[in-house]
Structure 1
C-alpha cells in the first residue's frame, strides 16, 4: 500500500451555480474557481456562499450605476460603457471572493503555538486580504469612472 499526499486537494463535488441579477453577467462557479486558482480546500458550498456575498456587495455598490444605464436604454452590463464593463465586473467579483475566502481561512492555524512563524504567516494573510480588497475597490472605481485613489489615515 502506498500513501500519496497532494498539496492541492482535488475538487470533490461539482460547484453549485449561483444566480445573479439578469442585467449583470452570469457567474459560473467553476470559472471563478479556475480564475482564482482555488483547489479542493474550498468546498462547493463555501465557494457558492462567497460568490453570493460578492454578488450582493458588488451589485449593491453598482445599484446607482445600473439605474443610470437602464434609464439610458442599456439592456445589460455586457453592452454598457466601452464594452469592458463586464470584465471589470467579473474582476470585482473574483477579488471579493478571494478576499472573503482569505479572511475565512485567516484563523486556520497550521503552525505550533508560540512559534515565531505564526505572526509572519498571519501578516502575509492580512496583506493578501488587503490586496484583494484593493483590487475590488479598483475594479468598482474603474466601472464607475472614479479615480483609484485610496487614502489611509494613520
Structure 2
C-alpha cells in the first residue's frame, strides 16, 4: 500500500451535478468554482466536498433565516431580486452569500483534513493550517454580518 496521495484539481466532468441547491430563494453553490476559489485539490473527494458544502449551507441559511423570511414577505422570491449594488453583474448580496458558504465549507474541509497525515510533517502542516481555519470562520462571520448590514465588531462594556 502506498502513502502517495495525488494532488491537483478534480476535472469538472468527474463531478456529477457540480451545483448544490438549497431553498429556492438562495443561489446554488458551484462546486467547481468553490474548489478553484479555495484551492481545494483532488485529495478532497467530491463526496467529502459535498458534505462540507451542505453543512456550510445549513449554517449560513440558519444565520440568514429571519432575513430571508422578511424579504419573502416583501414579495422577493429569490435573492437576486432583492435590490442591491451590482459587482461583476451580480448582486453584492449574492457575492456575500456565496462567500459565507465558501468560507464555512473551507473551514470544514481544513478541520477534517488536519490529521490526515499523522507523521511529523502532518502535525506541522496541521499547525500551519490552524490559523486558516480561524480565518475561514472569521470571514464567514464577516460575510454574514456584511450581508445583514451589521457591524463586524461586538463591543461589551464590563
TM-score, normalized by the shorter chain, greater than 0.5 = yes
Residue 109 of structure 1 deviates from its aligned partner by 2.5
2:34 to 32, 42, 45: 32
Q: C-alpha separation between the residues in 2 aligned to 1:91 and 1:8?
A: 24
CA RMSD of aligned residues (A): 2.3
Q: Does 1:104 align with 2:112?
A: yes
1:94 to 102, 117, 120: 102
Instruction: Please list every run of 5 or more consecutive structure 1 residues that lacks an aligned counterpart in the other structure.
Output: none
1:55 maps to: 57
Q: 1:130 to 1:35 in 2, by over 3 A?
A: same
Q: Does 1:14 align with 2:15?
A: yes
2:151 maps to: 147
Q: 1:28 to 1:56 in 2, by over 3 A?
A: same
Q: C-alpha separation between the residues in 2 aligned to 1:37 and 1:19?
A: 22
> Which runs of 4 or more aligned residues in structure 1 lie more than 6 Å from their structure 2 counterparts after TM superposition?
none
Q: C-alpha separation between the residues in 2 aligned to 1:123 and 1:32?
A: 24
Q: 1:89 to 1:126 in 2, by over 3 A?
A: same
Q: C-alpha separation between the residues in 1 aligned to 2:80 and 2:51?
A: 24
SS in structure 2 opposite 1:23?
A: coil
2:129 maps to: 125
Structure with the largest fraction of strand: 2
Residue 133 of structure 1 deviates from its aligned partner by 0.3
Q: 1:85 to 1:39 in 2, by over 3 A?
A: same
Residue 9 of structure 1 deviates from its aligned partner by 3.6
Q: C-alpha separation between the residues in 2 aligned to 1:94 and 1:86?
A: 12
SS in structure 1 opposite 2:29?
A: coil
Q: C-alpha separation between the residues in 2 aligned to 1:55 and 1:129?
A: 17
2:87 maps to: none
